[in-house]
């Protein structure tokens, strides 16, 4: 009997690392016009960004079908294993609901669905902790309690280069995007209640970067978890952000996959960390 850890590709894990560590992975669907791709299987990050930056129909994301989870759950039931599935925030996607439907179809009580209330490397941090605890012999209940605490204290702050992609994805009206672009407004997004909301609006890149650093530094971080940094397509702004934090040169720097980048666009830069208790 073992504990199986499952996540989805919104976690932005390196696929080779996922397979080497025995993490179960379910792919998000990426749709471009009538074509549909499985993230990480028949669509690479490079191909995705080519589509995103083109003038064609923008890529959109959708949650995996319940069957994608059911295959994992049935294998665990056959082996008598427990499952902990740590998934993209239910406020951002229907992925959690798909997993819950699969659990009901499977009829296996030892499947535990965790709404991470976050995305990208925030999920990675939770998966890493679950794996560490399972390897140390901790039980399912202790792991779930730890994950709940981490989810509650997870912090994500992002800066955006452009409002164009929020408009293309339906998050802004044309007028809002146009005014923001003309005025040189750079929004800062923060994770709140499982979704990303505007935390600040700044004029110009220098002020935006300074305000982002202030937001991050205003919260005491849990020393048990190293801060991680994220970017989309171009890491230049993210590397500038990292210079404001001692020791960040050794921190993980992760490129966003389609799930967030499809909405926020290229040029995203930000930090993910766990707030202290």
Tell me, what's the pLDDT at 82?
Answer: 98
Pairing relation of β-strands 3-8 and 82-87?
A: parallel
From the CB of residue 148, how many other CB atoms can be counted at a distance below 10 Å?
A: 14
Tell me if the domain spanning 154-274 has CATH number 3.30.1180.10: yes
Contact 142, 112 (CB under 8 A): no
Fold equal for 3-153 and 154-274: no
The pTM score is 0.93
Nearby residues of 276 by Cβ (< 8 Å), 6 or more positions away: 153, 220, 221, 222, 223
Q: Does domain 3-153 have CATH number 3.30.365.10?
A: no
Q: Which helix (H) or strand (E) holds 150?
A: helix 140-153
Give the span between the Cα atoms of 59 and 173, in whole angstroms.
Answer: 18
Q: What is the pLDDT along the chain (277 residues), one digit of tens a residue?
A: 799 999 999 999 998 999 999 999 999 999 988 889 888 888 888 888 998 888 778 888 899 999 999 999 999 999 999 999 999 999 989 999 999 999 999 999 999 999 999 999 999 999 999 999 999 999 999 999 999 999 999 999 999 877 677 656 555 555 444 445 545 678 888 888 888 888 888 888 899 999 999 999 999 999 999 999 999 999 999 999 999 998 888 888 999 999 889 888 888 999 999 999 8
Q: What is the pLDDT of residue 175?
A: 44
Every domain of the chain and the residues it spans: 3-153, 154-274
Nearest to 17 by CA among 139, 157, 140, 121: 121
What are residue 62's DSSP bridge partners?
A: 29
φ, ψ of residue 200 to 5 degrees: the values are -165, 155
| Chain CA centroid to CA 247, Å | 23
């Amino acid at each position: 009997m073992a504990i199986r850890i499952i996540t989805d590709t919104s976690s932005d894990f390196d696929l080779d690392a996922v397979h080497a560590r025995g993490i179960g992975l379910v792919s998000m669907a990426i749709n471009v016009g009538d074509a549909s791709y499985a993230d990480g299987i028949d669509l690479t990050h490079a191909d995705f960004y080519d589509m995103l930056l083109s003038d064609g129909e923008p890529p959109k994301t959708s949650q995996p079908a319940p069957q994608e989870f059911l295959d994992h759950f049935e294998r665990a039931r056959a082996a008598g294993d427990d499952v902990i599935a740590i998934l993209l925030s239910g406020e951002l996607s229907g992925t959690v609901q798909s997993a819950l439907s699969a659990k009901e179809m499977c009829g296996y009580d030892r499947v535990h669905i965790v709404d991470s209330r976050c995305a990208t490397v925030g999920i990675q941090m939770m998966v890493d902790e679950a794996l560490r605890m399972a390897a140390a012999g901790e039980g399912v209940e202790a792991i779930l309690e730890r994950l709940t605490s981490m989810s509650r204290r997870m912090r994500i702050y992002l800066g955006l280069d452009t409002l164009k992609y929020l408009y293309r994805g339906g998050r802004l009206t044309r007028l809002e995007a146009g005014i923001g672009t003309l005025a040189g407004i750079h929004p800062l997004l923060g994770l709140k209640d499982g979704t990303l909301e505007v935390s600040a609006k700044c004029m110009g890149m220098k002020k935006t970067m300074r305000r982002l650093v202030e937001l991050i530094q205003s919260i005491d971080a849990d020393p048990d978890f190293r801060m991680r940094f994220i970017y989309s397509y171009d890491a230049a702004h993210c590397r500038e952000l990292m210079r404001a934090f001692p020791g960040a040169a050794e921190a993980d720097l992760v490129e966003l996959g389609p799930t967030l980048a499809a909405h926020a666009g290229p040029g995203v830069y930000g930090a993910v960390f766990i707030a202290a208790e």
